[in-house]
Amino acid sequence: SDTTTLPSTDSLRERALASLRRVGVTVPEGADLTARTPITGETLLGLKATTRDEAGEAVAAAAAAFRTWRTTPPPARGALVRCLGELLRRHQDDLADLITVEAGKIRSEALGEVQEMIDICDFAVGLSRQLYGRTIASERVGHRLAETWHPLGVVGVISAFNFPAAVWSWNTTVALVCGDTVVWKPSELTPLISLACHGLVERAAEEVGAPAGVHRLVLGDRTVGEALVDDSRVALVSATGSTRMGREVGPRVAARFGRALLELGGNNASVVTPSADLDLATHAVVFAAAGTAGQRCTTLRRLIAHRNVADELIGRLTAAYRRLPIGDPFHEGTLVGPLISTGAYDILRQALGRAEADGGELLVGGGRVLADAAPHAAYAEPALVRMPEQTPIVREETFAPILYVLTYDTLDEAIALHNDVPQGLSSSIFTRDQREAERFLAADGSDCGIANVNIGTSGAEIGGAFGGEKATGGGRESGSDAWRAYMRRATNTINYGDTLTLAQNVRFLG
Ligand code: UN1
């Protein structure tokens, strides 16, 4: 049921420019970078990139701003984020338009991404009065131990195309209330939404009287990102992207004793047990696997279904997949927008080829639609593939809407299959049996950073810590106590007596 008409590139350009105008941003036009839209696959406009020298200047400006920002009281830092949150509310539609134009998200998901930014602003404002340290009992008479959390420095945020704004906001709002300043290197594929977000922080900074250098934007390819990775003035590099990217960034930052917070690939699975509510599971699986055209790091990529329910579940999923409206993401009713590029579609096809060579059976999807209407864009039918076993292609993250279905007999077997992949981001179990649910959440259950019951793998709220284990990189962002990664901890031992007592009963002179 694809919508056979797509908006013209001209109308999309107009729409993006109108949003930018309302947000109050002027685009640095140039010929180094191109803003494009996956809706038609065509170019919107040319942009000036940041040079390596300019990236160094941005870090210098952020480092200078840090010197005053770090002693600004945290609730006053929160006022900046509160103001940003108000601007995001006011421009929710404009920002959502830019996300749809540049990342191809359907309207509801684009608005949801901006909502996620608003939510983290609220969280960070509250956090600005809750940067708690502990007091600790001392073993010595007349002594007290305490820990104090201090701002860390400049945070380099490297973000990906698929959540071009929300992931930036998790990092930036928390970093700002923690007293850090930020230099942001967004994906080359989403410069316009980045300019809009940066413009709003600048406006908020002006309104509350924060130093302009608290936030800087650098646009360009990986060399600009490398400038942040290798700059010892950047205390923390928070990078979201592929495991391959993280494998490069992690050691480079570590080599200069910087900190890295890595959010890398996922290969998320759901286990569907015999007692599962199959209506609920089907709905959840379709959203998690086909939503966002399979381009979330939390996208469901593996379905591990009990042998007794697999056929029934596959029947329901196949029927639901056949009815998915694919097409113009601005069109009311569309559920699956374009892939980010035709290259992403090639990757999808290659993965399906390997899966079939491994004995997989393509049950539905995998085709390309709207190729005549938009030869430079890639609209893919989400694919469902039944696999005889967890072959190497299933263990890889393919950033496209492919759901592999595997079957199991015992829960131990399901958990073993579940954990037998390099990545460890998100997971879930569908069951009405409390023992099974608890077993999945236990120490020897799911090995992921996110483990859910009776919901899918994607669409986490901001209140929890977000991130994963193993090849996902180990970082945690967003809610809970993820803020600690953006601060440094000092342990204080305070002697309020009049004698010097040494710990561990050591005697020296006295
Ligand atoms: C990502 O795909 O990089 O949990 C982030 C989710 C969203 C964030 C995804 N809240 O799916």
**At 510, is the pLDDT very low, low, confident or very high (cuts 50, 70, 90)?**
confident
Distance CA 106, CA 98 (A): 11
Atom in ligand 1 nearest the alpha carbon of residue 426: 4
Q: For ligand 1, say whether the CB of 162 is within 6 Å of any of its atoms.
A: yes
Q: Which of 19, 161, 26 is nearest to 90 (CA)?
A: 19
The protein residue with its alpha carbon nearest to ligand 1, atom 6, reads 459
Selected catalytic residue, list 102, 202, 263, 397 = 263
Cα 208 to ligand 1 centroid, rounded to whole Å: 30
Using CA atoms, how far residue 253 sits from 262, 388, 393, 494, in Å, is: 11, 41, 30, 34
Percent of the chain at pLDDT > 70 equals 99
pLDDT tens digits, 411-440: 999 999 999 999 999 999 999 999 999 999
Give just the sign of the alpha carbon dihedral 113, 118, 119, 125. positive
pLDDT tens digits, 106-120: 999 999 999 999 999
* HSE-CB for 366 with a 13 A CA cutoff: 18
Selected catalytic residue, list 197, 297, 381, 397 = 297
Q: What does the CA dihedral 244, 249, 255, 258 come to, rounded to 10 degrees? A: -140
- Which of 168, 187, 298 to mutate for ligand 1's pocket (most ligand atoms within 8 Å of CB)? 298
Q: For ligand 1, say whether the CB of 450 is within 6 Å of any of its atoms.
A: no
Catalytic annotation present for 178: no
Instruction: Flag whether pLDDT at 2 surpasses 50.
Output: no
pLDDT tens digits, 127-141: 999 999 999 999 999
pLDDT tens digits, 167-216: 999 999 999 999 999 999 999 999 999 999 999 999 999 999 999 999 99
Mean pLDDT, rounded, of the chain: 97
Q: Quick check: 41 and 342 in contact, CB under 8 A?
A: yes
Distance CA 450, CA 453 (A): 10
The protein residue with its alpha carbon nearest to ligand 1, atom 7, reads 459
Q: For ligand 1, say whether the CB of 296 is within 6 Å of any of its atoms.
A: yes
Catalytic annotation present for 248: no
Average pLDDT over residues 142-158: 98
- Which of 458, 461, 462, 477 to mutate for ligand 1's pocket (most ligand atoms within 8 Å of CB)? 458
> Whole-prediction pTM value?
0.97
